[in-house]
Structure 1
Amino acid sequence: MSDFSVEFRMPKGCPNCGNHMMKVSQEKNPDDRVFCTSCNTDVCAWADAEQILAETPRSEAEQLIEDVMNNKKPSTDDNH
């Protein structure tokens, strides 16, 4: 993958090594491939990653980690 990628944290780990940090093209087109930052395994398409990020239930601690790693404002919603 080129240097024009962004890293983000997924709630599901890499199927090969378990790492949660992934990278995708800055363009983030639906068919762009998501790769594990540790072992470079092709994990899924960006469209699938977006769906996983939106739909996977996480504990409050897990959500806080993802918010920080993905540079989002931490969620204040108590209904995770």
Structure 2
Amino acid sequence: MSDFSVEFRMPKGCPNCGNHMMKVSQAKQSDDGVFCTSCNTEVCAWDQAERILDETPRSESEQLIEDVINNKKPDSDDE
């Protein structure tokens, strides 16, 4: 999967090793498996990962880390 996958950071760590870096296929179909980049454990399906990314409350510093790693533009209160 390494050639055709996308890495991203999840707010919840892998249940096996605690790593927050995950990978999913570039297609990102709802039933695609999300795997830990460290131990290759299947963590969940992509649709579950999207819900976790959207719904899990995070501290400001945790959110900034994820925004940078996941290549998101940080939210701005100035707009």
Q: Could you say whether these structures have the same fold, taking a TM-score greater than 0.5 normalized by the shorter chain as the test? A: yes
Provide the TM-score with structure 2 as the length reference.
Answer: 0.94
Percent same amino acid among aligned pairs?
A: 83
Match of 2:17 in 1: 17
Tell me how far 1:2 sits from its aligned partner: 4.2
Q: Deviation of residue 68 (structure 1)?
A: 0.1
Give the match for residue 74 of structure 2: 74
Shift of residue 76 of structure 1? 2.1
Residue type matched to 2:14 in 1? C
Provide the TM-score with structure 1 as the length reference: 0.93
In structure 1, what is the Cα distance between the partners aligned to 2:67 and 2:32? Answer: 22
C-alpha separation in 2, matches of 1:20 and 1:45: 15
Contact 1:22 1:36 in 2 (8 A): yes
The answer (yes or no) to whether the contact 1:9–1:70 under 8 Å persists in 2 is yes
Q: What is the rounded CA distance, in whole Å, between the counterparts of 1:72 and 1:2 in structure 2? A: 22
Q: Output the amino acid matched with 2:39.
A: C
- The letter of the residue matching 1:59 is S
Partner of 2:49: 49
Gaps of 5+ in 2: none
Bigger proportion of residues as helix: 2
Separation of aligned partners in 1, 2:27 and 2:52: 18
Structure 1 moving runs of 4+ over 6 Å:
none
Gaps of 5+ in 1: none
Superposed CA RMSD in Å reads 0.8
Q: Determine helix, strand or coil for the equivalent of 1:23.
A: strand
